[in-house]
Amino acid sequence: MKSVYVLNGPNLNLLGTREPATYGMVTLADIEASLKAKAKAAGVALTFRQSNHEGELVDWIQEAGRAGAGILLNAGAYTHTSIALHDAIRGSGAVVVELHLSNVFAREPFRHHSTLSAVAKGVICGFGAASYTLAFDAILPHLP
């Protein structure tokens, strides 16, 4: 069975209450429920996780790579700073779609650079919670 890990970085546990004008009112639990239904319909195993800790995200990326799973990664602020996540993606061999709820290119200049994009299959941003659905649809043809 094809498998996808959905990995969420720091502060994404606050969705629905954190800066709703930027991130919307949808919670991470809402996104998880929606994706689980979509994955079930597609016959795809879905693992959905969130951590505020960089090392835990590294461990999960490596785990997904060993399992032959694709990864949807919303690394939050680590997108702009984490060489460790970049190296984990490169070393894991997993197909990764980087995603963001907001359009990072329409925000502060420090958000315009990603340390992850160079090792991701693609990037989806700016569509709110629908970014997750778009990323899921985008990764399916690239799963082993």
Positions marked active-site: 23, 100
Which phi and psi (to 5°) does residue 23 adopt? -105, -10
Strand 122-125 with 44-50, pairing: unpaired
Cα–Cα distance, 115 to 113 (Å, whole number): 7
Strand partners, 26: none
